[in-house]
Amino acid sequence: MTLKIAKKIIDISKKLYGLGFLTACDGNISSLNENDNILITPSGVAKSDLEPIDLCIVDRDGKLLSGQNPSSELYMHLEAYKRKDISAVIHAHPPLSIAWTIANTADYFVPTNCMSEVIVAIGNIPIVPYKTPGTKEMADGIAAFVHNYKAMILSRHGTLVCGSSLDESFYGTERIENTIKILANAKSMGGLSYLQPEEILKLWEIRKKIGEKLI
């Protein structure tokens, strides 16, 4: 089972690299295994070159059980796994999502009321204030967000998406970057416009029925 999960992590790493969401040694991916421990990518290894033997296993307290040098952002993953419905975490560096937070420093959330798919498929997307990557302070900084939202952008840093599976976390990462791409294009074409309030209410009712799942 652990090997199957490891192969899935590597497959998604390569997909993220191919999409340009990860470069060089950026980002980190993790998943719970059958023993309720955390399988996580290592520090300092390019995601395009990962092999199953490179992955590390830690327990929920962060104690290393197997491998060497787990991701320097392990604290962030440990915080996410305090949620009982989370089984996989992806932290990527999608360029447009990062650029949005650099250009729109006053935003606390990504504008979600411009298009139906965002509300229905993901809901609100908070922008987490910047903290130094790889520090306990960063993990503390996401705590208030990760327990209320599955998908978020870390200001000037990247995306963090937590799911019940690696696939859900991957889809959420794709959804955020595609949303930002559309919004950025709309801004460049003249600015953002918004759905009518009554339509927004209808969409949130649909989202409520779906629940917290990212689709």
Domains along the sequence of the chain with CATH? 2-210 (3.40.225.10)
The pLDDT, as a whole number, for residue 1 is 65
**What are the per-10-residue average pLDDT scores of the chain (215 residues)?**
91 97 96 97 93 95 96 96 97 98 96 96 97 94 95 98 98 98 97 97 98 95
The pLDDT, as a whole number, for residue 134 is 92
**Measured at the alpha carbon of residue 67, what is the angle toward residues 65 and 73, in degrees to the nearest 5?**
85
Which of 166, 144, 142 is closest to 155 using CA atoms? 142
